[in-house]
Structure 1
Amino acid sequence: MSYSILTSYDRGAIETLNNFGYSLQKIADTLGFSKSTIHYELQRVQPYVASLAQQDADHKRKQCGRKTTLSRSQKNLIESYLALTWSPAMVAHQLKLATSTLYNWLNNGRINFLLTDLPHRNAFQRRKKENRGTFKVEQTIENRPDKVNQRQEFGHWEVDTVLSSRGQDKTCLVTLVERQSRMLWAIKVPNRTKGAMKLAFKRFMNQFGSTVKSITVDHGKEFSGYRHLQQQYGIQVYFCHAYSPWERATNELFNRKLRYFFPKKSHFRDVSE
C-alpha cells in the first residue's frame, strides 16, 4: 500500500491514530504511507476530522482541470485577507481554492498585491550568526513534557526578541506566545540584555502570575539570566537548539507577522506602547 490517494477509511484511521498521539512517522508506518503524505493530510483541516477532510478532498478533486474565474468581490476579499497577513495557502483554504491558483493570480497581476509584500517573504532568509557570547543551559527542548509539546495545557509560552534597525536603535520587543491558546503578547524594552529581560518578565508575570508554567527560548544572551526566572517565579525554562527557529514555530510566525507591520528598518523607540 504505497500510494498517496487516501480513502475515507484511511482518513478515519489517520484521525484515530492522531487522537491517540501517534507521531507522523508512526502513523505513516502503521498505514503504509509516506510521512509527507500524512503531514499534508493533517494540514487539510485543523483540528483534524476525517469527515471534514474527506469533504475538502472531494471538493478540491471536483475543481481539478476546471478554469477558476475571479470575480470582483472575490478579488477584494482576497486582497483584504492578504492585507491582514494571511498567507496565500490560508486564503485559498478559506475560499476553497487551489493554492496554486491563487499564486497564479498573484504572479500575473490579477490580484493587486505584490509577492514581496507577503508576510513570509523572509521566512527562509539566512540569519546572521549570533556573536554575543554563549552560556551553559540546563534543560533543552528534548526534556519538555509531551503535554507541552502537544499543547494540552495552558501556561507554556514561547519567547523571543524582535530588534529595531541594527546599529541605529537598541530598543526591541520581547514577544511571547502561549502555545495552547496562541495568545500573543509583546513588551517594549530599551535593549536586548539580561537586565531588560528581567524587567519585561516582571511586567509579564504581574499580568499572568501563577498561570505561567514554562517558557521556551533560544540561546540569545538576553536569556542568560534564566536561573533567576526559574527561582523567582517557579517556572521551567527550556532551550531550543542553536539556529533552529522551527522549534519555536508559533513564536516565529508571530514575529514574521509583526515584521509585516514593522519592517526591519523600523525604530521601536518611535512606537508607543
Structure 2
Amino acid sequence: MDHLHYTANEHRKGQHLTFECRVLIQTRLKDGWSPNRIAKEIGCAPNTVRNEIKRGTVSLYKGNILRYKATAGQDAYERNRQSCCRHYDFFEKSNFISFVEQKFFEEGWSLDACVGRALKNELFTRDQIVCTKTLYGYIDLGLLGIKNIDLPEKLRRSPKKTQVHKNKRILGRRIEERPASVNDRKEFGHWEADLVIGSKNNNDDALLTMIERKTREYWMIRIPGRNPNSVMNALSTVHSQFEEHWDDVFKTITTDNGSEFSTLSDLETLSKTLVYFAHPYTSCEKGSVERHNGLIRRFIPKGKRIDSYSNEQIAQIELWCNGLPRKLLGYRTPDELFEAELDRIYSCAT
C-alpha cells in the first residue's frame, strides 16, 4: 500500500495515467471510494478517473458483473496510443503540392497566392488542398521541393532597433493633412511614390515607382538620374497618357522628403492632384510602395546598376507584380482591378 501511495504522489498535472495509477484506481474502487476521492489522491481531475473507469471496465460472469481492471485500462490506453500521432495529407494531396511548386518556381507566386487562387478559380476543392500554414510547415519538415532559402521574405526579416531622427524639413503638405478617406483604401486614385536606385553611382539610372493604394497597381518608370527634373519629366509623360482623366486617376500622391521630389508640389498648380509628404524617416507611412519595392529586389539586387537592364526586362518585372494574385484583393490581380476602375471612369465620362 505504501508503494501505491508513493506512485500516486508522483503523478503530475497533464501527464497520462501510469499503470501504477490504474492499479491504485482498481484498489480504491474495491474499497468503495468515489472517483472524486480517488482523483484527489492521485492528483488528477475527477473526469480523468471517470473516463479511465469507463475505458477499463470489463464484464465478468457472463455479463452479470461489471468491474474495472487495471490491465484492461492499460491495454485500451496502449491501443489508442498507437494511432495517436500527427497525420500529414502530403501524399493524398500530391496534385495540389505539384501545383504549388509549379506556380512558386515558374511564376513566382507566394504560397498563400497558390492556395487562394486555387480556391477562387475552383482548380481544387477545399478537401483537395492544405492551408497556407500547413504548406510552410511542410517546408520546415523538408517535404516540399521548396526550401526556406527559396522564400525571399522569411530569412531576410529581422527586428531593427528604432532610431530617432530629427531636423529634416518637410517639402510640402504634411501627411496628416491628407483626408482620412485615403487610409480606408476604398476610393480609387490615391497613389504612393518612391525612387529605387541600383548602384550608388550618380550616373546610373533610377526607377520611379508608383502604386495605387486601392488596386495595388504598381508602376516602374525608368528615369535618367535622381534629380527633380527627371521625376517631373516622367510624370509629364504619364500626364499626357491620361490627359483629361488625370484628375480622376491621380487625386493624391504621397511620397517622402527626398530631394528628387522637391518640385513634386508643382503638380498642384497644373492639376487638381494634391501632393503629401510623409514624416522624415517614416517609410511605413507609404508602406505599399515600400513593400513592392522589396519585390523588385528579387530581380534587381541592391548594388546592381539599373541601366544594365533593358526596358523589356523592367516591363516584365512590372507585369509580374501586377499579375500576382493577392489575398487582400480576394485573390484577384492588381491589373484586373485597375482596368475595371479605368473602365468605370471612361464610361462615366462618355
Alignment TM-score, normalising by the size of structure 1: 0.64
Distance 1:91 1:242, change over 3 A: farther
The residue aligned with 2:101 is 79
Aligned sequence identity (%): 30
Match of residue 238 from structure 1: 276
Pick the aligned partner of 1:163 from 197, 201, 213.
197
Aligned residues: 206
State the distance in 1 between where 2:176 and 2:135 align.
38
Deviation sequence 1:50-108 (CA, Å, 0-9, x none): xxxxxxxxxxxxxxx65232544323221233333433344455565344322222233
Q: Which residue of 1 aligns with 2:229?
A: 195
Kept after mapping to 1: 8 A contact 2:170/2:277: no
Aligned to 1:258: 296
Alpha-carbon distance change, 126 to 69 in structure 1, aligned in 2, over 3 angstroms: same
In the alignment, which residue of structure 1 is the partner of 2:88? 67
Q: Quote the offset at 1:230 in angstroms.
A: 2.2
For the 8 Å contact 1:157–1:216, the answer to whether it is kept is: yes
Tell me the CA shift for residue 176 of structure 1: 0.8
Q: Secondary structure at the match of 2:194?
A: strand
Q: Alignment partner of 1:186: what SS?
A: strand
2:208 pairs with 1:174:
yes
1:116 maps to amino acid:
I
TM-fit CA distance, 1:123: 5.1
Mapped partners of 2:152, 2:241: distance in 1: 29
The alpha-carbon distance between structure 1 residues 140 and 100, as it changes in their structure 2 partners (threshold 3 A), is: same
Partners in 2 of 1:217 and 1:139 — Cα distance? 10
**Structure 1 residues 146, 164: closer, same or farther in 2, change over 3 A?**
same
CA distance in 2, matches of 1:215, 1:107: 41
Deviation digits for residues 27-66 of structure 1 (CA, Å, limit 9, x no counterpart)? xxxxxxxxxxxxxxxxxxxxxxxxxxxxxxxxxxxxxx65
Distance 1:78 1:269 in 2: 34
Amino acid in structure 2 at the alignment position of 1:151: R
Deviations 1:164-205 (A, max 9, x none): 133486211111111122222111012222121111111222
CA distance in 2, matches of 1:114, 1:199: 43
Gaps of 5+ in 2: 1-85, 119-128, 312-350
Give the TM-score, by structure 2 length. 0.51
- Structure with greater Cα Rg: 2
Gapped regions of structure 1 (runs ≥ 5): 1-64
Deviates more, 1:182-191 or 1:141-150: 141-150
Instruction: Tell me the secondary structure at the aligned position of residue 200 of structure 2.
Output: coil
Greater relative contact order structure (CA < 8 Å, 6+ sep):
1
